[in-house]
Amino acid sequence: MFIIVKLKLYIIGLLLLISFICTGILVKMGKFSGFDKWLSSIIHHKRSSFLTPIMKFFDFIGSTYFVIGICLAILFYLYFVTKRRLASVLFIVAMIGERLLSEGLKYLFSRSRPDGFHLVEVDKHSFPSQHAMNSFVLYGILLFLLWTHLRSNKIKVLLSLLASILILVMGFSRIYLGVHHPSDILGGYLISALWLIIIIIYTGHYKEENKMPN
């Protein structure tokens, strides 16, 4: 990994960390309440008999049980089919780390769910959004693992666009369903991006020390 690339990753990671800390402090102080209510109100006015089933579908594919099933299938493919041992370990670390981060931060902030009608059942605390983190880390680590082995730039761009859309729609669905504040989604995205940057930096160091090809 080139020095310039490393430096950029460290800078991005630092900015993400600062952004998440600032977001968390503002959430604790209640400074996001006006923004959250404003944006939630706009999104809730978009509710319809057409959109609601679609948003509930995204609730399902972002659920813990579904994500676990997807992860097991991906691990099977990485370890037994492609024989990519390092990729398998990175994937496990990424997903388990995301889960621990989510649970720990929810306990730390102990933020209540939004008031009003929830279109799906939820429990526990609100900040940061676990669904947002699940989707960001899952699709983000997959994109990273695929990116290093794909040669076609068009496919890379297409997969990046698809992953971005899935992540954004997942976040939108949580607000639409009334179970998260917009700032919960923001917090989930920021900490997930930071976690992925840490994994990417570590991967670069590991490959350099072990003289592994990119």
Measured distance CA(183)–CA(32) in Å, rounded: 7
pLDDT exceeds cutoff 60 at 214: no
Question: In the prediction, which pLDDT does 212 show?
Answer: 60
213: Cβ–Cβ under 8 A, 6 or more apart, which residues? 207
List pLDDT tens digits, range 76-113: 988 888 888 888 999 999 999 999 999 999 999 989 99
User: Got the DSSP string for 20-39?
Assistant: HHHHHHHHHHTTTHHHHHHH
pTM: 0.91
What is the 3-class SS of 160-206, one letter each residue?
Answer: HHHHHHHHHHHHHHHHHCCCCCHHHHHHHHHHHHHHHHHHHHHHHHH
- Using an 8 Å Cβ cutoff, are 196 and 94 in contact? yes
List pLDDT tens digits, range 9-64: 999 999 999 999 999 999 999 999 999 999 999 999 989 999 999 999 999 988 88
- As a whole-number percent, the residues of the chain with pLDDT over 90 amount to 65
